[in-house]
Amino acid sequence: MKTLIFTNQKGGVGKTVSTLNTGAALSRKGYRVLLIDLDPQGDLGTAAGVEPDENDATMYEVLKGEARASEAIVKAPGGYDIIPTDIRQSAAELELAPVIGRDFLLKNALREVESRYDFALIDSPRSLSIITIMGLTAADGVIVTMRADYLGIKAIVQLRDTVDMVARQLNPKLDYTGILLTFNKRTNLSKRVAEQAQEGFPGKVFDTKISVDVKLGEAPGAGQDIFTYSPRATTAAQYSALADEIIDRLKG
Ligand SMILES: Nc1ncnc2c1ncn2[C@@H]1O[C@H](COP(=O)(O)OP(=O)(O)O)[C@@H](O)[C@H]1O
Ligand SMILES: [Mg+2]
């Protein structure tokens, strides 16, 4: 199982949408996919058409050691599996702070299910919190998700410091799988952002960029991935191409 985390401490950059649709694309190519929501907003489950109810085990119970990962896995209508979470997980931050080895809680919890999947894709919260650190510690690769419609490179420098620290202290195999540009347009600004990303992460920017797309913006509200909601959307083809690029990079 390859574990990839979509991250950026900024909100609204397309992390959740990209985690879901990259997972859906990989799943349609025949790979066994587990989606993991680490954001207490619980948007990934909602976007995938899965709503945990109060009695269901979620990521929160898994992190606290009260449920096994396998007990929190739900089948999403799109054909992939997901461990959803909800707002209760916001308490985990404080509750888990004093736990010894807390950074490894997710990594250790996923061992139980790793033989069942080809890919685990983690959606992360809009912060560089201990929860995000757990995600980075469990991951093989980071997919930095950034909008092509503003120069957000300062946030990326901070993110890179965090990734470097995790790679040094907790997870030496951690690597950048790639930089994903979202909300891409045919503008000079998008070109400049792509150039800056290229300078910051030479050779790492994915050729596939995700366009601004009304359908893609609507799909999460319908609880569907783009392949179900609007299979002919340009962004469906883009997420499919992104999945191919990811597979190639992991091979090479
Ligand atoms: N390429 C896109 N084009 C149009 N709307 C998008 C696109 N990607 C994401 N969105 C919309 O933008 C909002 C933020 O995306 P989201 O994936 O939730 O960001 P994050 O998880 O980084 O906070 C959501 O309402 C989503 O539907
Ligand atoms: Mg999100």
CA atoms within 13 A of residue 207's CA, in its CB half-sphere:
8
Q: Give the residue whose CA is nearest to atom 25 of ligand 1.
A: 217
pLDDT of 103 over the 80 cut: yes
Q: Is the pTM of this model over 0.95?
A: yes
Gap between the Cα atoms of 60 and 123, Å rounded: 14
The CATH number that applies at residue 217 is: 3.40.50.300
pLDDT (tens digit per residue) in 176-235: 999 999 999 999 999 999 999 999 999 999 999 999 999 999 999 999 999 999 999 999
Give residue 179's pLDDT.
Answer: 97
How do residues 67-82 score in pLDDT, each as one tens digit? Answer: 999 999 999 999 999 9
Q: How many CA atoms lie within 13 A of 55 on its CB side?
A: 0
- pLDDT of the residue at 122: 98
Residues 82 and 72 sit within 8 Å (Cβ to Cβ):
no
Q: Which amino acid is at 231?
A: P
235 is in which domain, residue-wise? 2-251
Q: Which ligand is nearest to the CA of 37?
A: 2
Residues in contact with ligand 1 by the CB-under-6-Å rule are 11-17, 43, 126, 182-183, 210, 212-213, 216-217, 220, 235
- Which of 5, 17, 39, 230 most suits a substitution to test ligand 1, by most atoms within 8 Å of the C-beta? 17
Nearest CA to ligand 1 atom 10: 217
Indicate the number of domains in the chain.
Answer: 1
What pLDDT score does 53 carry? 81
